[in-house]
């Protein structure tokens, strides 16, 4: 991730506000993208949330039904002659018009509850206009002619449950091409109608056996045809089957599982198929939707079980339309298009600004300068937009991600560097070991001309560099420091002669000449200093007693030698020649290293690195052999 780019004060303040605005829009777009990606997997949770908030939302349909209840209470207490009845009926007529004319129902096609309300009202009143039917129903004349008890009984048993029926269509369903599954909705409407019939007339109603038979038939169809397969929710059908099996068969001693209660409870919760897979779910529904079951266990308790355990599972089923590309419909691009267009304009504007600040950069290069912004334009893998969003938030100053960058450096980068270093070290050691064992190293030192080596210019760069440096040192540098070298040699010779016992004896005797013994000792020391290599000469000088004058002369010699060497190296011909030789040498080393690396199995290198790491982990504190 690039380093943060804080607002540039050379730009006007309105550009910084544009950066902040675009960053906020990008965050909003990312939120929509994440919601869109999570909608199908998490639709059941959104549906539960919608059902929860429905409890606190008083809709116009609920207000309508409350007025119907007020009317029924008023008629029971005061009758049709009450002066409060006409105004209440007028209010119901107005609400009925709004109920049918406005989008108060979530599903408005021919399979929804609204269409069923219109059909039943039209059949009851013999008219094609449902609004006229409601106008007739809520009139004093109709209630007086047909009896208000029968009129309200018709409404409560045939219409009320449809108006109050929950249709699981969420606001985002059209974007994904989703609609409630018609067969499961029809199933639930039958259950609601049965419940309304039982609440009004009880088990003696002639409609109850008919509705139970329809529910048994619908249950068989649901299991046989698998209403949940199209939405890829077959697991939900299995959950429904397990619930009805558990409810029916657990009440029968001969069918219920036996054993310790805690174990049975755990297994039933984690793997219910262990107990119920061999039981018939069709038979369980046949028994559940029967008059005998309702009489034996009470229809209130049975419907309470259904509404609590099974109704939501059926409500969660849906049908998703398929497009001409044989894939599920997804209209999110209609929402995303406006954001992508805005991001496209912003990228072009930013690229233009880059070309203004850097004239040598083309517009195409400027676009790829901020390559991560292109992730805002691609119509797939939209979750990758989190990368440019985070960067834009940091650049605009809205969010500081320096702590995140530090964690990445400490974590990912450090770990990668450690792994890479281990592999590189192992490979280098292996190549050195292979060169030693195969004799390539010895051959390169003793027989360099016979070595198989990639040469790019037919020149031995090491030899040429050594020759050139030696030439500089001997021919150019040493003549310039000759006075310093002569002073040092003279001082060393003088000190050496004076330190001999023979010289002191001659000095005590007052002899002014030199003897052969003094000449021999002096020649030995001088020849040792001049004939032996720099290392021996250095140790010869270092072994002498401490001498401030010698130290000062040596320091002066080193300083002048270094200065002269730097001056000679900075000459144009010398510097260019050395640079070319070193460059060629590095290129040859690289080519030969790559040649050997290609011949090396990387898997073996990684395996050996891992083996070494494991060995180091087993023995973090190896014993010290010196102890």
Q: Are residues 139 and 183 in the same domain?
A: no
Residue 348 lies in a domain: yes
Q: Are 564 and 485 a contacting pair, CB within 8 Å?
A: no
Instruction: Place 3 in a pLDDT band, splitting at 50, 70 and 90.
Output: very low
Q: Give the pLDDT confidence score for residue 487 in this predicted structure.
A: 66
First to last CA, the chain: 50
Residue 275 lies in a domain: yes
What is the residue-wise DSSP string for 343-402? HHHHHHHHHHHHHHH-TTS-HHHHHHHTGGGGGGT-SS-GGGGHHHHHHHHHHHTSS--H
Q: Are residues 95 and 218 in the same domain?
A: no
Q: Are residues 288 and 402 in the same domain?
A: no
Average pLDDT over residues 596-615: 63
Average pLDDT over residues 516-520: 47
- As a whole number of angstroms, the distance between CA 11 and CA 426 comes to 51
**For the segment 312-336, what is each residue's pLDDT rounded down to a tens digit?**
999 999 999 998 888 899 999 999 9
Q: Are residues 370 and 456 in the same domain?
A: no
Instruction: Place 539 in a pLDDT band, splitting at 50, 70 and 90.
Output: low
Q: Give the pLDDT confidence score for residue 596 in this predicted structure.
A: 61
Q: Are residues 61 and 105 in the same domain?
A: yes
Judged by average pLDDT, the poorest of 117-131, 158-172, 490-504 is 490-504
Residue 614 lies in a domain: no
Pairwise pLDDT comparison (315 vs 19), residue with the higher score: 315
Number of domains in the chain: 4
Residue 287 lies in a domain: yes
Q: Are residues 457 and 573 in the same domain?
A: yes
Last residue of a domain, one of 141, 168, 195: 168
Q: Give the pLDDT confidence score for residue 379 in this predicted structure.
A: 85
Q: Are residues 341 and 398 in the same domain?
A: yes
Decide if pLDDT at 380 tops 80. Answer: yes
- As a whole number of angstroms, the distance between CA 59 and CA 104 comes to 8
Name, of 175-184, 416-425, 498-507, 555-564, the range with top average pLDDT. Answer: 175-184
Residue 8 lies in a domain: no
Decide if pLDDT at 114 tops 60. Answer: yes
Q: Are residues 97 and 196 in the same domain?
A: no
Average pLDDT over residues 452-463: 61
Q: In the predicted model, what is the mean pLDDT of the chain?
A: 78
Q: Are residues 136 and 84 in the same domain?
A: yes
C-alpha separations of 381 from 37, 384, 387 in Å: 10, 6, 12
Q: Give the pLDDT confidence score for residue 45 in this predicted structure.
A: 94
Last residue of a domain, one of 143, 168, 193: 168
**For the segment 554-588, what is each residue's pLDDT rounded down to a tens digit?**
667 666 766 666 676 666 577 677 667 766 666 66
Last residue of a domain, one of 261, 296, 320: 320
Average pLDDT over residues 425-434: 66
Q: Are residues 482 and 582 in the same domain?
A: yes
**Can you give the residue range of the structural domain that contains 274?**
178-320
Q: Are residues 315 and 337 in the same domain?
A: no
Residue 512 lies in a domain: no
Q: Are residues 229 and 347 in the same domain?
A: no
Residue 606 lies in a domain: no
Phi, psi of 44 (to 5 degrees): -60, -40
Decide if pLDDT at 189 tops 80. Answer: yes
Q: Which residues pair with 319 in a beta bridge?
A: 179
Residue 290 lies in a domain: yes
Q: Does the model's pTM come out above 0.75?
A: no
């Amino acid at each position: 991730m690039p380093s943060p780019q804080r607002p540039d004060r050379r730009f006007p303040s309105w550009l910084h506000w544009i950066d902040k605005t675009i960053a906020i829009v990008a965050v909003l777009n990312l939120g929509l993208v994440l919601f869109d990606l999570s909608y199908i997997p998490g639709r059941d949770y959104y549906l539960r949330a919608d059902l929860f908030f429905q409890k606190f939302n008083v809709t116009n349909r609920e207000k309508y039904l409350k007025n119907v209840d007020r009317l029924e209470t008023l008629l029971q207490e005061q009758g049709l002659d009450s002066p409060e009845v006409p105004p209440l009926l007028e209010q119901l007529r107005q609400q009925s018009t709004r109920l049918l004319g406005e989008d108060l129902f979530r599903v408005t096609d021919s399979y929804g509850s609204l269409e069923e309300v219109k059909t039943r009202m039209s059949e009851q009143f013999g008219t094609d206009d449902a609004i006229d039917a409601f106008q007739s129903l809520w009139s004093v004349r109709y209630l007086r002619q047909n009896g208000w008890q029968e009129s309200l009984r018709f409404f409560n048993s045939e219409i009320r449950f449809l108006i109050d029926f929950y249709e699981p269509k969420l606001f985002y369903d059209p974007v994904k091409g989703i609609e409630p599954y018609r067969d499961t909705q029809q199933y639930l409407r039958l259950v609601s109608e049965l419940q309304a019939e039982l609440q009004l007339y009880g088990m003696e109603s002639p409609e109850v056996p008919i509705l139970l038979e329809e529910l048994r038939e619908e249950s068989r169809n649901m299991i046989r045809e698998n209403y949940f397969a199209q939405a890829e929710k077959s697991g939900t059908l299995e959950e429904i089957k397990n619930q009805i099996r558990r409810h029916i068969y657990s009440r029968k001693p001969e069918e219920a599982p036996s054993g310790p209660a805690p174990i049975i409870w755990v297994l039933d919760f984690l793997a219910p198929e262990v107990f119920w897979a061999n039981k018939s779910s069709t038979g369980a529904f046949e028994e559940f939707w029967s008059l005998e079951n309702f009489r034996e266990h009470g229809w209130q308790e049975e419907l309470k079980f259904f509404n609590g355990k099974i109704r939501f599972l059926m409500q969660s089923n849906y049908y998703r339309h398929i497009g001409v590309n044989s894939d599920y419909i997804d209209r999110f691009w209609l929402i995303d298009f406006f954001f992508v267009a805005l991001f496209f304009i912003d990228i072009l504007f930013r690229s233009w600004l880059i070309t203004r600040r850097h004239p040598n950069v083309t517009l195409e290069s400027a676009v790829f300068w901020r390559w991560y912004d292109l992730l805002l334009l691609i119509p797939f893998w939209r979750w990758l937009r989190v990368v440019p969003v985070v960067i834009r938030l940091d650049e605009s100053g809205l969010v500081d991600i320096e702590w995140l960058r530090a964690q990445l450096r400490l974590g990912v980068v450090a770990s990668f560097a450690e792994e890479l270093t281990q592999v590189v070290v192992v490979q280098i050691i292996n190549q050195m070991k292979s060169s030693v064992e195969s004799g390539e190293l010895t051959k390169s030192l003793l027989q360099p001309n016979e070595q198989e080596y990639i040469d790019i210019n037919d020149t031995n760069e090491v030899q040429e560099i050594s020759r050139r440096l030696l030439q500089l040192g001997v021919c150019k540098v040493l003549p310039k420091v000759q006075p310093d070298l002569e002073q040092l040699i003279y001082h060393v010779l003088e000190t050496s002669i004076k330190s001999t016992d023979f010289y002191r004896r001659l000095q005590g005797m007052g002899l002014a000449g030199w003897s052969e013994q003094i000449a021999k000792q002096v020649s030995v020391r001088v020849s040792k200093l001049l004939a032996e290599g720099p290392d021996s000469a250095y140790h010869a000088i270092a072994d002498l007693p401490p001498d401030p004058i010698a130290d000062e002369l040596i320091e002066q010699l080193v300083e002048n030698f270094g200065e002269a060497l730097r001056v000679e190296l900075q000459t144009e011909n010398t510097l260019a020649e050395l640079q070319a030789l070193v460059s060629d040498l590095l290129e040859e080393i690289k080519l030969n290293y790559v040649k050997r690396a290609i011949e090396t199995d990387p898997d073996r290198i990684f395996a050996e690195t891992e083996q070494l790491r494991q060995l180091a982990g087993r023995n973090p504190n190896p014993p010290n052999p010196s102890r």
